[in-house]
Each structure stands twice: as structure tokens, then as C-alpha cells.
Structure 1
Amino acid sequence: MRPASLILALTLAAAPPAAQACGGSFSGFVADLEREAVSRGHDPAAARRFFSGIRQSPSVLKADRAQGVFQKPFIDFARNLISASRLKQGQAKSGQYDAVFDRIERTYGVNRGVLLAFWAFETDYGGFQGNFNTANALVTLSHDCRRPELFRPQVFAALELYERGAFDPATTTGAWAGEIGMVQMLPRDIIESGVDADGDGRVSLKTSAPDALTSGAAMLSSFGWRAGEPWLQEVRVPAGMDWSQSGVDVSKPVRDWEAMGVSARSGNLSHGLTASLILPQGHKGPAFLAYPNFNVYFDWNQSFTYVLTAAYFATRLEGAPVFDARAPETGLSGADMKSLQRRLQARGHDVGKIDGILGAGTRAAVQKEQARLGLPADAWPTPALLSRL
């Protein structure tokens, strides 16, 4: 469903100059990968065996270009992913693996709800882990010129796993973007954070829930997860506050938000921390305070809507009530969102790809234009904004 933790690839050590090459003959590209692998110190015979059966995967490219689900607004997206069945099953899994979660929380400080939510969304608690050939997927996406710098390092990580006897290029399968196992980890993540939690001598992310959950927790910990701190809390907001202060780029002490009239919908706000005010569908829709741990989610997945939904579901699994949808203003269709992005781009805003998805760049541009036009600057694009532009 998602390119899990692809941001890790951006932090890897610089590769040889050829590492940025993409496109051209696929067979020639694979031959270049094999030569580069040997230059990196991989065993020539192992590299030859690993790359000998690699095939380009049209189905991977199709999946990469068909992520329309992320065009849905938060309320629809969350209601689509969070069902009574998923919630009930999550609660059952929490009990089934209670000792595992207790050990994870003691060791890594990652709450069980956080891991259960990822487990649910990524593979439906391990029920569907993807049937794409992982080696083919990674090489295909490396050859494709959209994001080769993200996927190419993962090819060499998969080769390293193969040399360790932990990966079979012919039979290892997973998601279309190369993630493997119950919580969907990329090869580099497995090398850096894989944990043999069940003590059988192997890191088995596809068949061992303790291994998968503990490895996921280790990865979140490496991203900077802060033990004992919250990640997301639903709040109530007063009418007429300065909406330009909302968004993940603005962080304030919680007491400052409280002074502005923000209050917890249930429980208490976490004083002593900073937080951002999140209005996924504008000032008339649901509202959340996102604490520092929320930012760690973006190292797992870079979709704002996915991250917010996963973080919210984690709170539900730990007892939070269903969010108050309130009455958000009507948003834009996918076609209208693309039209908006073009108009924003024409005004000099960097909105990234024209894809109809309300990502971080589009939200920032919308908020700036709303402020310029005297509209509530809540980063939620409406037909009225589109008309004004």
C-alpha cells in the first residue's frame, strides 16, 4: 500500500556515480547493477545468481501510478480503513500477544496501539502481505526514472540479505514497493532493525508476529520515537482563532495552545510538550494536536492522510473515542484539485507533482493563498478558493 520508510534511502552513504542512472535497456540496466554490486564488494558469484533471474514488472509500475486512494479526504479515508472488525481484531491481537507488546514497550517505548495500527493497515494483521516478487519490484522501480534514488539502495540491501541466506530473489514476495512481512519493511530496514524476537535464530517478518512487531518497534525507535509520550490527541478549537497557526510546520508549547482556547476532547492535554494543530479538513472539521512522536510517522510513510489515519487508529486501539467529524466545508474533486495545483504552480508555489493529492506542498501553498485573499488560512482547499484563484 505504501513505500514504507523510503526516506531511509535518502540518508544512506553516497553510492558510486552510476547509482543515479535509470531508464534505457532494462537488461543493460540489470547488468550495470551487477557490476556495481561487485564494485561495492559483493561476491561476484552471488551477484550473478541474484541478478540472473530479474525481470521487469509492469504490474509494479501500474501499482505505482495508481494510488488514487490518497486523493480521499481524511474523514472518508479513515472510515474506509477503520472498521469495527479491524478494531475488534486489533483488540484480540493485543491480548494474544500481550507479553510481546509488554516487552516491546519496556525495551523500545513504542505503544502497542501504534504497532497494531500499522499491522492492520499494512497487511490486515498479516493476512495479505502482497504477492509481488520483491527483487523484480525493487529493480523495476530503480530502473524507472521517477524515484530511482529511493529504490536503488534497497536492491543492494536485498542482495546483502541474499548473501546472508535471508532472501530468495526467485521466491521472496511482498508489496509492490518492495516491502516485506507483516508490517512491511524494506530490505535496508530489515538489515538495520530486524529482530529475532521469538528466539528461533532467524528474523522471520512474514511468519513470526513477535519478530515483525519487535522489528517494527526497533525501526520506530531508530527514527526517534520518544518513550512514554503521546503522538496524537483529538481537541476542540474555538471559533475565530488564527487558523494560519495550524499545520505540521508550526509547533507551540501545549500551554500556548491552551491559552488560545484549544482543549482536549477527552482526557487532558500533555503539558510540558510542544505540539502542532492539525486540521485535516479545515477549521470546521475534526481537529487534533500532534505531539513530537507524530513526526516519526513520516519516516514510515510520507502520505499525510495515511499518517494521520494510522496515528488516529492507534489512539482508538488504546481507548480514544471516535473522532467528531463536525461539519467541514466541501472539498475539491480529484480533477478540481489538479486544477488548483496548476493555478498554485502558476503563482510560483512548489506543489510537487500535479496529482490531485493534498500533500504537504499543496497544503502550504493553499494556506499562503488563503491568507493573501483574506480567507480562513486553514490549508483546506474549497471551491471558493479555487474560484478566487
Structure 2
Amino acid sequence: MRNAAPAVDFPVLSRRRAMALALGAGAALVLPRPAFANVSDFVASVWPEASSRGVSRAIFEQAFAGFTPSDRIMSLTRSQPEMVKTTGQYVADAVSSTRVSTGRSMRGEWNQTLGATQQRYGIQPEIVLAIWGMETNYGSYMGGNNVIHALATLTYGNYRRDFFKNELLTALQILQAGHVAAPQMVGSWAGAMGHTQFMPSSFMAYAVDYNGNGRRDIWNSVPDALASAANYLKSHGWRNGETWGYEVQLPSNFDYGRAWDIGRQSLGQWEAMGVRRTGGRTFPRPGDAGRIFMPSGGSGPVFLLLANFDVIKRYNNSDNYALAVGHLADRILGVGPFIRPFPANETGLTRAQREELQGLLNRRGYDVGSPDGIIGPKTRQGIIAFQRSAGLLADGHASSSLLSTLR
């Protein structure tokens, strides 16, 4: 999926995911009309529901003190990215040498906490560190927005009102419970909070009081934040002692079309098709099920993704994000870069360019359906058929070079 747009009830949301959510939800280029004539009426309308959830008047007034809807936040709901990163560009930016070295330093600094959380939740320390690094660069930037005011802005602005109103009310409950003081409840423009960027509803479900002081403080307590991320992964089915996936090599006669059709099968079955782990290594558990992931088609690194990869995607429903987390974790652990590099000159395709590609395939007689910018099975079949007829590597990959050839 894209960077795939999260589902409507997606539980954890960061600055990057919030933008994808806005675009994936079909955010209009016109600012939504506020549901209230003025801010005072809006704030007054929130109070009865907040009170019914046990929020005191004092906490409510403190939280809303100085509230003015933010034009900047509302503008972000309708921002369109001008560039689309390829997976290679995304991973290069996310898994920088600085982020790797900082992750190793943090592993040493928080070794005791990470060891204890691994025993308690069964999550490898490097995965927790990688998520922390991806979300807030190890706590160096947690968003800087007043969470109550950000969520109130989105609710007042009538942007996905029901979703953000519930998050606003839940955030008020978190303040009422004393987990954090209102001035310290900072996060992204869409309300993702603290070191590990939990939405308020995710905080309620998965945040933990690791240090036992009675507060689940993911803003000021690194142990609370790391343990909360580990609890989140465990709760969504992380398999202890297993990795996220493997970089693999494909045989020269590999049938890409069949691989797309198969989806998921055991690693042993992939081996029977000639797929090998890079570096001459073997798969420790051939019975594990995996799917082929070819973010640059057959011209770049190829991976077999395991069940834990999909658990990472529960944090952010994006193959690119999950790949970056897995790779960053491996690099922190001491594993080297991918064996096969990403293509140097590949550029990402915008939705309009993907629609153009589909239209060009249709005009050449490869029926891929009405152009919608979504590269699904029918489009891949059309791409493979065209690639075969043109003497190209028939990998089904919708690339910038393929678009140029079709033009």
C-alpha cells in the first residue's frame, strides 16, 4: 500500500502517517466548513461529553485555555506532496548512518530497560529502538503541538469529526487521570503523542506504567514509552524470537507473475522455486510462511516478508515503513546494508502518473480496467504482458522507466 493510507480506525498515528491518512481519506483541497459559528460555542458543546467521561471542569478549562483553531493544522489536512519517494529513497532517508549510530548508543544507554521489556513482552530490543528512532528520532522531536488544541482544531474544523472528537475526549481523560500535565501533552498536528507517537485511544489500550509510579508517561519517561511500544507489538501478535523477513536472491528464470499470484507460502516452497537467502545463508525455519516483496521490481533488492512484518504494519500500515523499521533494527544489531542496492535513477510515480500508465496500457490493448492509479493484480498482469512483448524484465513493476517506455 503506498506508503499505504491507514484504515479509518488505525490505532497509532505519527506526523508521516497523519499526512497519509489525510490524503488517503480523499482530503478535499477546500477547507471543510466549521460545524460551529464560533469557538466559544464549540468549546461549550464539548464540555457535556467530557464531563460524562469523568473530566473535571478544572481540567477541562486548563486544557482549553488559550485555544484558537490553528489555520496551519487545517492547511495540513489538504496538503498534497509534490514528490513521491521510492522505497529506496524512503529507506535511505529513514535508515541513515546517524540514526543507526544513535540507535546503538541508545541500546547501550537503555540496555537494562530494553532487556527487561524483552523478558516481559518478548520483543527484541532493536525493533523497539527502531520504532522509537522512526517515530521521533529517539525522542529528539515529538511534534511540539499542544495535543488538546490540535485535536480540537480538527474537530472544530469538521475534519473527520467523529474520529478526532473521540480522540479529543480521550486525551482529556488522560489528563484527568494525571498521566501527564496539559502543557506537557505534546505531539503531532494530528494528535499522536510522546516518544512513540500513540494516539490517545492507543494510549488507553496499550500504554503501560513501566516504572510503577502510577502514571503512563510516554512523554517524559523513556522506560514507559519503550515498554508501551513493546506492549503494542505483543498485543498485535509479535512472534518472539522471529525476525521480520529476509533479503533473497531470485533465479534468472524466476516467474514473477506466478509469484504475484501465489502471495504467501512457506519458505521451503519458495526455495523450491529457486529463491535463496542472500549471503549463502539458510532459512532457520523453512516452514515459516512468507510473501515476496519487490519494491523496485526485479532490478532492486527482493525480500521474503514474515508474520512480524505485518505486525510492524499495525504501527503504520505501510510496507515502506515496516521495511525501514526492520532494516534499522538489523543495522542497530550490526547487520550490514542490503546486498543488492536500490536502482539509483528510479523516481516515484504520482497517482496521476500511475493513471497515465494504466491508460497507456489500455491504449496498447492490455486491458487493465479504468485508470484509478492503484496498481492491482489486473494492472500487474497488463504490465507483465507488455514487458514480455517488449523484451523487458517481466516483473510487473510500475516504474518511471516503464512509463517512459510506454510514452
**Common fold: TM-score over 0.5:** yes
Tell me, yes or no, if the aligned pair for 1:8 and 1:299 is still in contact at 8 Å.
no
CA shift, 1:232, in A, is 1.9
Question: Which residue of 255, 258, 268 maps to 1:255?
Answer: 268
Q: Give 1:159's aligned residue.
A: 172
Q: Which runs of 5+ in 2 are unaligned?
A: 12-31, 360-367, 389-393
Q: Give 1:24's aligned residue.
A: 35
- Mean Cα displacement is larger for which, 305-314 or 366-375? 366-375
User: Could you tell me the percent identity over the aligned residues?
Assistant: 26
Mapped pair 1:299 → 2:277: no
What does residue range 105-144 of structure 1 map to in structure 2 within 5 Å? Answer: 105-144=118-157
- Structure 1 residues 46, 381: closer, same or farther in 2, change over 3 A? same
What does residue range 257-296 of structure 1 map to in structure 2 within 5 Å? Answer: 257-266=270-279, 267-269=281-283, 270-296=285-311
CA shift, 1:23, in A, is 4.1
Q: Give 2:370's aligned residue.
A: 348
Which whole-Å CA distance do the structure 1 matches of 2:229 and 2:147 have between them?
19
CA shift, 1:161, in A, is 0.5
Which whole-Å CA distance do the structure 2 matches of 1:105 and 1:8 have between them?
31
Tell me, yes or no, if the aligned pair for 2:35 and 2:158 is still in contact at 8 Å.
no
What does residue range 34-45 of structure 1 map to in structure 2 within 5 Å? Answer: 34-38=47-51
- Structure 1 residues 130, 191: closer, same or farther in 2, change over 3 A? same
Q: Give 1:184's aligned residue.
A: 197
Question: Which residue of 328, 331, 349 maps to 1:313?
Answer: 328
Question: Which residue of 241, 253, 275 maps to 1:240?
Answer: 253
Tell me, yes or no, if the aligned pair for 2:170 and 2:201 is still in contact at 8 Å.
yes
Q: Give 2:9's aligned residue.
A: 9
Which whole-Å CA distance do the structure 1 matches of 2:396 and 2:62 have between them?
54
Which whole-Å CA distance do the structure 2 matches of 1:69 and 1:247 have between them?
30
- Structure 1 residues 69, 174: closer, same or farther in 2, change over 3 A? farther
Which whole-Å CA distance do the structure 2 matches of 1:292 and 1:343 have between them?
32
Q: Give 1:354's aligned residue.
A: none
Which whole-Å CA distance do the structure 1 matches of 2:193 and 2:262 have between them?
32
Q: Give 1:71's aligned residue.
A: 84
Alpha-carbon displacement from aligned partner over 1:354-389 (angstroms, at most 9, x marks no partner)? xxxxxxx44656424324545524343333246548
Structure of higher CA gyration radius: 2
Per the normalisation by structure 1, the TM-score is: 0.81
CA shift, 1:73, in A, is 0.9
Q: Give 1:382's aligned residue.
A: 400
- Structure 1 residues 68, 9: closer, same or farther in 2, change over 3 A? same
CA shift, 1:117, in A, is 0.8
- Structure 1 residues 246, 66: closer, same or farther in 2, change over 3 A? farther
Tell me, yes or no, if the aligned pair for 2:54 and 2:173 is still in contact at 8 Å.
no
Q: Give 1:100's aligned residue.
A: 113
Tell me, yes or no, if the aligned pair for 1:37 and 1:156 is still in contact at 8 Å.
yes
Mapped pair 1:339 → 2:350: no
Per the normalisation by structure 2, the TM-score is: 0.78
Structure 1: which amino acid aligns with 2:265? Answer: K
- Structure 1 residues 160, 103: closer, same or farther in 2, change over 3 A? same
Does the residue aligned with 1:71 lie in a helix, a strand or coil?
coil
CA shift, 1:203, in A, is 1.8
Does the residue aligned with 2:246 lie in a helix, a strand or coil?
strand
Does the residue aligned with 1:9 lie in a helix, a strand or coil?
coil
Which whole-Å CA distance do the structure 1 matches of 2:256 and 2:344 have between them?
15
Does the residue aligned with 1:281 lie in a helix, a strand or coil?
strand
Q: Which runs of 5+ in 1 are unaligned?
A: 12-20, 352-360
- Mean Cα displacement is larger for which, 304-313 or 139-148? 139-148
Structure 2: which amino acid aligns with 1:253? Answer: S
Q: Give 1:357's aligned residue.
A: none
- Over the aligned positions, Cα root-mean-square deviation in angstroms equals 3.4
Which whole-Å CA distance do the structure 1 matches of 2:163 and 2:318 have between them?
16
Which whole-Å CA distance do the structure 1 matches of 2:245 and 2:202 have between them?
25
- Structure 1 residues 49, 128: closer, same or farther in 2, change over 3 A? closer
CA shift, 1:236, in A, is 1.1
